Amino acid sequence: MKIKLTINGRERLSDVPEGERLLDTLRNLGYTGVKRGCDEGTCGTCVVLLDGKPVNSCMLFSHGSQGAEITTIEGLGTPQNPHPIQRAFVDAGAVQCGFCTPGMVLSTKALLDVNPDPTEDEIKLALDGQLCRCTGYVKIIDAVKRAASLLSEESKVSGGAS
């Protein structure tokens, strides 16, 4: 069945088998930042933002995502011009193998979009569905705090415009 998805602000028309999961559709369309992990919605490697909220794309049918804005890690920044959250993760040393990083970054974006100055407990709650087997979580929590600070500084410089 043909479906129209809006991914990173761009409409994409795709022929998708009925029952295909969003994870598979995104990977087939070349969005390799969304990773396959557990296929059960518990590890967070397949997280994308659906209308600004983090969701496990392995748990959603693609046809159910029509009409929503899907944001993948490819929609945030580039290697030449990383998003402040991506810079914060690098600066804090919160990236090792990188497998969990896209989901962590997207979950951080969702948190900071609604709560620009979260407490450590709020950060932990926002990242609760994300598993990291390399870093532990201290540096990741530090990265979220750094990202909040960077975004706050950028907001002040730009006069509050997002």
Segment 85-126, tens digit of pLDDT: 999 999 999 998 889 999 999 999 999 999 999 999 999 999
**What integer pLDDT is reported at residue 24 of this predicted model?**
98
Mean pLDDT of the chain: 94
- Domain spanning 2-75: CATH superfamily: Beta-grasp domain (3.10.20.30)
**What integer pLDDT is reported at residue 84 of this predicted model?**
97
pLDDT band at 133 (very low <50, low <70, confident <90, very high): confident
Locate the domains of the chain by residue range.
2-75, 84-155
Tell me if the pTM is above 0.85: yes
Helical H segments across 53-157, by residue range: 84-91, 101-114, 120-126, 138-157
Q: How far is Cα 125 from Cα 75, in angstroms, rounded to an integer?
A: 24
**84-155 maps to which CATH number?**
1.10.150.120
Contact 112, 85 (CB under 8 A): yes
